[in-house]
A and B are shown apart, each in its own frame.
Chain A
Amino acid sequence: MLKILIPTLMLFPTIWLSPAKWLWTTSIAQSLIIALASLSWLKWSSETGWSSSNLYLATDPLSTPLLVLTCWLLPLMILASQNHISPEPLNRQRTYISLLVSLQTFLILAFGATEIIMFYIMFEATLLPTLIIITRWGNQTERLNAGTYFLFYTLAGSLPLLVALLLLQNDNGTLSMFTLQYTQPLHLLTWGDKLWWAACLLAFLVKMPLYGVHLWLPKAHVEAPIAGSMILAAVLLKLGGYGMMRMMVMLDPLTKELAYPFIILALWGIIMTGSICLRQTDLKSLIAYSSVGHMGLVAGGILIQTPWGFTGAIILMIAHGLASSALFCLANTSYERTHSRTMLLARGMQMVLPLMTTWWFMASLANLALPPLPNLMGELMIITSMFNWSYWTLLLTGIGTLITASYSLYLFLMTQRGPLPSHIIALEPTHTREHLLITLHLIPIILLILKPELIWGWCF
């Protein structure tokens, strides 16, 4: 664990001491080396449930895929920001990359944490750099509103979690994840216990987000600059899923009764957000709402507490992280050329940028969960386990999948096919950097077709 954490911390001196000409090259190179080193976590040689552990940090099959995803995303984020940050003064560029690296550090500490209070502190700590990135470097005036919604929704959800965790610490003496699974199941009978149960999960449900409390997500995703959108869609939403999966261990047996409203909200949310996607005019907003839908499926899979549900949830989290981030990068290439997110404005791009169309096509196919991509594997496992939980959920998840396919195709057809507007001239040709960025997103998804065992989690 330390062999990843210390190079990440050493990225700060690299950023601040590199000469201006080499800033981007060195930061991307170092973060890429860290990403490749993080792949060593995937080799699972431990006999116990946890590996690579010291007193405070450890990895297990649940956190390893998310850690690798986080480490993989940092060079991609820096690569994506290179164009729109370059006109700024040097120190501001350094600050921007430092914010991304600090976010990375907090995320590694969060996913690697073995004690739930540490996870909570890192969970909250990730809010700050993201807030600064959204409100300072966003492009429209709505970014302030977006930052406020983002911060206060998540904080309001997580304050009850702090109380719940301190209560648990009081009862159990420790909150270490190593021993959490072995504690006696708590006798949860009173209303206070039910509130405690809800408090444990609310923060993560807001973060995921669940359909009823999802309002912060479209705003934050749309107003954030590209690196902000990437990290939000790919990793920060998964913090919510990861937290839920950790907390589920000790929330039995109340979950059987109390999870119904949340499962229902999640399932209904898939259909509702899918329908909203079909009506969107803003490109990033469409991708943001599709994230809500996919995460609703993940929330449903986690809340029914079956092994296949958990496995499907992890697979879908990783696959969606990569696919959603790829879509945001593609939307950014369109935005950097036309300075508008309106889909109607930037139509017919296939005529002008045909190779980019290939990447749009593959990313849209990943979004609509085409077999044999891991997106389908995750969705199918969740849908199957929910079908086992209750036959009627198939209606909702089936219609949800149909709507997902239709808005993904709508996204592709709107941006790539159709007539090119006659007044669009002087579009820059695609840079190699942009092609590299998107291929680095899509290649892991394709490779995961061949070895999905890496992201199956601990239930298989």
Chain B
Amino acid sequence: MADYREAPLATRPKTLDPAEYFNLSLDQRRAEEERAGLRAQLKRQYQMQLNNPHRKELIEDPALTRWVYARTNPYNHFRATKKTSLLGGLFGVVPLFVLYYVLKTDRVWMR
């Protein structure tokens, strides 16, 4: 089933349609169709902007904007969990003390 691909420009027989084959419920199929509709609308919006001959600026991608905002503002949602404290300590606090010990020993007692 995984390797089957229909010929180009042909349609799948109904029995090999994934919704039928895996016996998905009607609710799931309806949700799937809705999502396909939304995707088509978004693609249409993008294509309209892409092919607009009067457009001079970039097309704004809200997903990119949200991703960039999330990448640049992590501290607003920071929570001190065990993992974050461990990471912070391991990379921010412990190296300073280790380096102090190493450098001081090297300079004072070894040389």
Contact = CB atoms under 8 A, between A and B. Distances in A.
Contacts of B59: 423
Contacts of B67: 281
B31 interface: no
B58 A268 contact: no
A188 interface: no
Contacts, number: 55
Nearest to A256: B107
Interface residues of A, number: 28
A243 B49 CA distance: 54
Interface in A246-284: 260-261, 263-265, 267-268, 272, 281-282
Given A281-B71, A281-B72, A345 B64 contact: yes
B50 A281 contact: no
Interface in B72-111: 72, 91-92, 95-96, 99-100, 102-104, 106-107
A174 interface: no
Contacts of B58: 338-340, 345, 423-424
Query: Which of the four size classes fits the interface of chain B?
Result: 20 to 34
Contact of B107 (A268, A342, A390): A390
A307 B89 CA distance: 35
Contacts of A424: 58
A222 B107 CA distance: 40
A390 B106 contact: yes
A340 B67 CA distance: 13
B91 A272 contact: yes
A152 interface: no
Contacts of B3: none
B102 A268 contact: no
A416 interface: no
A396 B100 CA distance: 13
Given A281-B71, A339-B57, A389-B107, A264 B100 contact: yes
Interface in A285-303: 285
Given A264-B99, A344-B64, 10 more contacts: A281-B67, A281-B72, A282-B71, A282-B72, A390-B107, A391-B106, A392-B103, A423-B59, A424-B58, A426-B57
